[in-house]
Structure formats: structure tokens, C-alpha cells
Amino acid sequence: MLYSLYEAGFYAATPLRAAALATRNFWSSPLNPLRESQGARRIYANADLFVNLTRRYGRPDWGIDEVTIDGQPVRVTEETTWSSPWAKLTHFSRDKGDMRLAGRRELEPAVLLVAPLSGHYATLLRGTVRTFLQDHEVYVTEWSNARNVPMLEGRFDFHDFIDHIRDMLRALGPRPHVVAVCQPGPPTLAAAALMAEDGEDSRPASMTFMGSPIDARLSPTVTNRLAEDKPFAWFESNVIHTVPAPYPGLGRRVYPGFVQLAAFMSMNLERHREAHRNYLQHLMRGDGDSADQHLAFYDEYLSVLDLTEEFYLQTIDKVFQRYLLPKGELEHHGRLVRPELIKDVGLLTVEGENDDISGIGQTQAAHALCSGLPDELKEDYVQPTVGHYGVFNGKRFREEIYPRVRGFIRRTQPTFDKQRRTA
């Protein structure tokens, strides 16, 4: 019912949104002689804010057509190298000719960036991808919006997520590197453990976990306490809703993206209010650069997707309530997941000192679980002063965190791959 009401509210606001759009265009038109007056700017700013607060935000574009490598521009194209109804594996392919001009003639390590399936699109990692492209062949998991997947495609749960990670690693070939950002940490570690136990050629050469709830019992945050304090039945009854028409996933039970977005924003509600007040002031003063920065952030932040009921509820149950992986009780298709059997996969954990989503120690817990790894294949790093987002994006990530990740990947690159590089 809530989903249908949400949709009805959107369509009911269409006339008001159209009127606000017309008002915005009229008062910003270069043909309007009053457009630079204070009154015109005020009217324009309020109309623009209303339009942006009530419009639909679809999946953003990656917008990565080029990166600079050693001072040389290198063209980049997106390629889908593997797909299922629930995800696609996007390869950011760098132009080989441009790479040679940049002095890069070696075969560079392949990295699988596992994006979170927690409400936002994979494009949230745009800055992460740009940074990794300087030194790696980059592949990113792009998860489907559950409301767009027809019921005929069946279910997608926590264990399907693990299977997808395994299939994507296999698609990359022998010994790729995997970097899991936030939520995917536990299922990615489970996938690596199963592949290591089976001796698969495509088991990771290294795995990096960034701000991940490997053991959510440690340094609990507001997010963790919400999952702990509410009984499992509360989540079943209060946050799961049915996809209405006209979406292809009509009838599917989901955790809607707009519910997750409301939860995200409520955590820092005053900060979001202040940001929109500042945006209004920027528009009225004609400060276009500051207004554009605001729009760029919220175009991404307000773009959300739905999660299937089974995936969301199993994640709450297995990761945030029963803590099955750190307790050694997680089973995958009836088989116990045993991280202690990982023997030759590098392990790097990265945390932010001020992370309010995954507290200090939650990601580090992977080291105790992977007890079979020698010390030389383990590394831990805590970045001072950054929060959750700063662990994988922004200036501190580019200048302080990424060089450590890059160095760790280079150290753990399999010997056979180093030997087959061409000069």
C-alpha cells in the first residue's frame, strides 16, 4: 500500500511540478529583461528547488569517458562482460593506443569492485573507479533495481549474491583482485572462502574490504543498533512493500529505495536541510558554481533502487542480528563457510576513524576469521578523520588510502602473472 501511495503522490504532484518548471524557465530565460532582478532570482530559486525535490531520479550515468594517466589523457569505454537478470559486470576499458602513449606497456592487474547493494546505484563509486583506472583493469558490479525485474525471473537472496560474486570472479580469469565496499564485505569474504577451499583458479589474488560490517557486533553504530533493537518481525511488517504497476516487477515484494533514502536522510536531517537552504541562497545570489556542486551531489544521493525482500531480510538476519559469519555459523547451500581455509589470498582492511556506518573493528574482524593466512599477506589501515564515504572516495582516498591499496595489490599479484607481462 505504501508503495502505491508513494507513486500516487508523485503523479498527483505532476501539475504543480509542471507549473514550477514553467516558472523556472520563464524567470531564467535570457529573453526575460527582469531575469537578473532580485525578485526574479527569488522566484526562480524557489521554483527550481520545488522541481528538484519532487522529480524522479533515475540511474545516473557513469560519465567516465577519459582518465588522465601519468599526464596523458586515456579514452575509456564501458563494456558489459557478464550479466544476469540481477546484475551486470561493467568493464571500463582503456584505449590501448592511449595507454602506450602514457608509457603503460605492461599487463595491469584486474580489479573487481563490488559495489554495495544497499539502496544506491553503483555509480556512487564513480570517484573510486576513476582512481583505480590509473593502474588497473577495472570491473564493477552493477546491481539491478528489483522493481524492474519481472517475477518470472524468480528470487534473489543473500546466497544468490555470493554466487554472483563467484561467477563474476570466474569471468575475470585466473587470480583477479577484489575490492568490496561496505555492505558486500561478508558475502564477498564468503565467496572467496568457498573458492579457496575448492582450489578454484579464479579465486582472488587479494581481497580488500573497505568499511565493511564483517562483524557488526564491534563498535556498533546507529545503523547497527537499529538492526539489533528491532525484532526481525518488525522489518518484515514495516519496511517490505509490493511493487505496483507500471513497473516490470509488478507484484514483487521489495525493500523500496525511497524507504532506505528516508532512513539515510533522517540520520543527518539537519545537515540536509541546511544544504538545501544554502542551495536556495546560492541561486538567489547567482552563485552557479556552488549550486552546481549541490546538484551534482544530490543527483547521485537521491538516486536509489529497490532491494528484493529476501535479500534485504536475510542480510538483516545473517549479518546484523545473528552475526553468522564471525561466529563461524554461516552456511551456503548447506555448506559451512570457512574463511580459515584461505591460505594464499592477500587481505587488506580499510576503515575510517569517523565512520558512522561501520564502526572501527568491524572490518578488521576479517583478519581473525582468516587465521590461515600468513602475516605477510595481511594488512590493516585506519584512515584518520574520515567518515564512511571518505573511505572509498574523495581527496583522502585518492592521496592516502588508494596508494596503500595499489601497493598491496602489486605485492600480492601472482608470480605467474608478473612473469607473463610484456615489455
Same domain (yes/no): 201, 118: yes
- Averaged pLDDT, 34-54: 86
Same domain (yes/no): 51, 174: no
Domain membership flag for residue 241: no
pLDDT of residue 419: 40
Residue 281 CB partners (closer than 8 Å, separation 6+): 287
pLDDT in tens, 199-249: 999 999 999 999 999 999 999 998 888 888 899 999 999 999 999 999 999
Check the CA dihedral 308-352-193-226 and report its sign: negative
Q: Output the average pLDDT for the chain.
A: 91
Of 270, 301, 332, the residue that ends a domain is 301
pLDDT of residue 415: 56
Domain membership flag for residue 13: yes
Same domain (yes/no): 204, 92: yes
Domain count, the chain: 2
Domain membership flag for residue 243: no
- Averaged pLDDT, 332-355: 97
Strand-strand pairing, 72-84 and 66-69? antiparallel
- Averaged pLDDT, 113-137: 95
106 or 367, higher pLDDT: 367
Same domain (yes/no): 141, 210: yes
135 or 11, higher pLDDT: 135
Domain membership flag for residue 423: no
pLDDT of residue 128: 96
Same domain (yes/no): 281, 373: no
Domain membership flag for residue 238: no
Same domain (yes/no): 155, 49: no
Is residue 24 scored above 80 in pLDDT?
yes
Q: What share of the chain is helix, strand, coil (3-state, %, to 5)?
A: 50, 15, 35
pLDDT of residue 297: 82
pLDDT in tens, 62-108: 999 999 999 999 999 999 999 999 999 999 999 999 998 888 877 78
Is residue 46 scored above 50 in pLDDT?
yes
pLDDT of residue 131: 96
- Dist. CA 74–CA 68, nearest whole Å: 6
Would the pTM of this model clear 0.85, i.e. be above it?
yes
- Other CB atoms within a 10 A radius of the CB of residue 352 amount to 27
CB 156, CB 146: distance < 8 Å? yes
- Averaged pLDDT, 315-322: 96
CB neighbour burial string for 227-261, b if at least 16 within 10 angstroms, e if fewer? beeeeeeebeeebbbbbbeebebeebbbbbbbbbb
pLDDT of residue 106: 73
pLDDT in tens, 133-175: 999 999 999 999 999 999 999 999 999 999 999 999 999 999 9
Same domain (yes/no): 380, 312: yes
pLDDT in tens, 352-363: 999 989 999 999
β-bridge partners, 254: 241, 308
Q: What percent of the chain lies above the pLDDT cut of 90?
A: 68
Is residue 420 scored above 70 in pLDDT?
no
Parent domain of 198: 66-230+307-415
Residue 114 CB partners (closer than 8 Å, separation 6+): 141, 165, 178, 179, 180, 181, 184, 188
Same domain (yes/no): 191, 332: yes
Least confident of 23-27, 185-189, 313-317: 23-27
Is residue 28 scored above 70 in pLDDT?
yes
Domain membership flag for residue 236: no
105 or 2, higher pLDDT: 2
- Kindly report the CA angle at 419 between 414 and 422, in degrees rounded to 5? 125
pLDDT of residue 272: 84
Of 245, 268, 301, the residue that ends a domain is 301
Same domain (yes/no): 221, 134: yes
Of 247, 268, 301, the residue that ends a domain is 301
pLDDT in tens, 243-301: 999 999 999 999 999 998 887 787 778 888 888 888 888 888 877 788 888 888 888 88
Report the CATH number that the domain containing residue 192 is assigned in CATH.
Answer: 3.40.50.1820
Is residue 422 scored above 50 in pLDDT?
no
Domain membership flag for residue 130: yes
Is residue 423 scored above 50 in pLDDT?
no
Same domain (yes/no): 291, 339: no
Domain membership flag for residue 211: yes
Collapsed DSSP state (helix, strand, coil) of residue 347: strand
10 or 168, higher pLDDT: 168
Same domain (yes/no): 347, 369: yes
CB neighbour burial string for 182-196, b if at least 16 within 10 angstroms, e if fewer? bbbbbbbbbbbbbbb
Same domain (yes/no): 272, 313: no
- Averaged pLDDT, 397-422: 79
DSSP state of 60: P
pLDDT of residue 310: 98
